[in-house]
Amino acid sequence: MPFTLFVALRYLKARKRHRALSVNTVISVVGVMCGVAALIATLAVMNGAMEEIRDKILGTNSHIVISHRGGAFGDFEADVQKVMAHPEVVAATPFIYGQAMLTSEFGVEGVVLRGIDPEREGEVTQVADNLVVGSLGALETGAPAGFDPDLGDAPEGPVQPGIVLGRELALKLGALVGSTINVLSPVGEPGPLGIIPKIRAFTVVGIFDAGMYEYDSSLAYVSIPAAQDFLDLGDRVTGIEVRLKDFERAPRVAAALRGELPEGFRVRDWRDLNRNFFSALALEKAVMFVILTLIIVVAAFNIVGTLAMMVMEKGREISILKAMGGTRAGVLKVFTVVGLLIGGTGTVLGFPLGLAITWVIHATYTLPGDVYYISRIPVHLVWTDAAAVCGAALLISLVAALYPAWQAAKLSPAEGLRYE
């Protein structure tokens, strides 16, 4: 065993034989352990929450959205084929974006009206997977009022274009599958008394649950032909949705598509579309890291106090050691190693404790289903975050040990042995 490590381990032992470690040493180790465990568990929960929200967003939206600065554009199939030619693109489909109001006998709600291709939408987003009842196929065929997908025979009556509503939106409007919903556009046709709002009757053919209140309460899907007719777009669309093999490569693929598409197109990836939201989450994570690191800093003060007391108690031994040829650098190394041993032990014990806490939170703690859309707290431990926590704990322990070690190193043998 190296001499420095041997002396450091001897100094960590308690004076009383029935104790392996001193009380101050145990308190310092426990402080570092609690700080490391709390920081690892908190970052794991925050990472899980960020990924859960990201997955919800990417389940409803595509990885890349292509729009035109002039608004709606035609000949979109040629542009779709250009996008599909990129090796990273899995699927692409046109869509229409508009705003409208939905009315029923139970209320009125403003919504984002999206026209989609039911056959291709499932390849780009998870709207079809999020359906609670109904199907996207009925958007294209339409359905009469009173349509019920669970019944074999649809009721007779004039076929109306279909519409798919979010769960919260359907609850607000009191709509079920088969209900008739009036879609109202404030931009209508001119009449003798001014602009007459355009109203069309739609049959609810499906209800989806995206897992986010913002989407479930404000989104409504119709077919592209129905949206073109209602919004007077002719044969034009407002954008193209793109799905990639790896959503993390979206910024690079978006930059490549900007150079391949004609001038006037605007290409934005999912990070650009939600930049403020994810920036706020990243800032919250960074601030939480700094705040919880203060727990380790408080534990570091215990290390300072423990080493300061150790220097006072071991003054005679330090003086004898230096009188026998020990150097200042050697004494400095001994007490620095003592501080690192305390911080390292706390870090080693805190890491598995943090993993255990995250597992307990995820496995045992449930959330009320009527308040939250998830039943359990999402947890995801990023190993780089865990490494950063452990590195920060060791660094703080090292810094905390420097001053007491320097005090011990400058102690002269004459002062230490004067009263012996």
DSSP states of 302-359: HHHHHHHHHHHHTHHHHHHHHHTT--HHHHHHHHHHHHHHHHHHHHHHHHHHHHHHHH
- Mean pLDDT of the region 239-263: 88
- At residue 347, what is the residue type? T
Residue 162 near residue 205, CB atoms below 8 Å: yes
The H or E element that residue 95 is part of is strand 89-104
**Cα distance between residue 325 and residue 419, in whole Å:** 21
Q: Which amino acid is at 139?
A: L
Dig out the tokens for 216 from the structure.
């479930």
Distance CA 91, CA 330 (A): 66
Model pTM above 0.95: no
Decide if 258 contacts 64 (C-beta within 8 A): no
Helices 315-323 and 275-313: crossing angle, nearest 10°?
Answer: 80
pLDDT in tens, 39-93: 898 888 888 888 888 888 888 888 999 888 888 888 888 888 888 888 998 999 9
Q: Quick one: average pLDDT of 94-118?
A: 89
Other beta carbons within 10 angstroms of residue 70's beta carbon come to: 8
Q: What pLDDT, on the 0 to 100 scale, is given for residue 154? A: 56
DSSP letter at 188? Answer: E
The 10 Å Cβ neighbour count of residue 195 is 11
CA distance 178 to 138: 11
Q: How far is CA 251 from CA 77, 248, 255, in A?
A: 23, 8, 6
Structural contact between residues 322 and 414, judged by C-beta atoms closer than 8 angstroms: no
At 104 the pLDDT is 86
The pLDDT of residue 211 is: 79
**Structure confidence at residue 352 as a pLDDT band (50, 70, 90):** very high
Lowest mean pLDDT among 37-46, 80-89, 368-377, 402-411: 368-377
Does 401 have pLDDT greater than 80? Answer: yes
pLDDT at 179 over 80: yes
- Taking 70 as the threshold, does the pLDDT of residue 377 lie above it? yes
Q: What is the mean pLDDT of residues 269-276?
A: 86
- Mean per-residue pLDDT for 362-389? 77
Please provide the DSSP assignment of 100-151 as one string: EEEEETTEEEEEEEEEE-HHHHHHHSSTTTTEEEE-THHHHH-B-TT--TTS
Residue 194: pLDDT band (50, 70, 90) is: low
Choose between 75 and 314: higher pLDDT.
75
**What are the sequence ranges of the domains in the chain?**
3-56+278-416, 71-263
Supply the Cα-derived Rg of the chain in whole angstroms.
33
Q: Predicted confidence band at 18 (pLDDT cuts at 50, 70, 90)?
A: very low
Residue 146 structure tokens: 């009173």
Tokens in use for 5?
């490590």
Give the closest residue to 184 by CA, choosing from 231, 236, 147: 231
Q: Is the pLDDT of residue 209 over 90?
A: no
More confident residue, 45 or 189: 45
pLDDT score of 192: 64
Percentage of the residues of the chain whose pLDDT score is greater than 70:
87
pLDDT greater than 90 at residue 184: no
Asked whether the predicted pLDDT for residue 13 surpasses 80, the reply is no
pLDDT tens-digit readout, 292-307: 888 888 888 888 888 8
Q: Is the pLDDT of residue 14 over 60?
A: no
Share of the chain above pLDDT 90, in %: 7
What would the mean pLDDT of 390-413 be, rounded to a whole number? 84
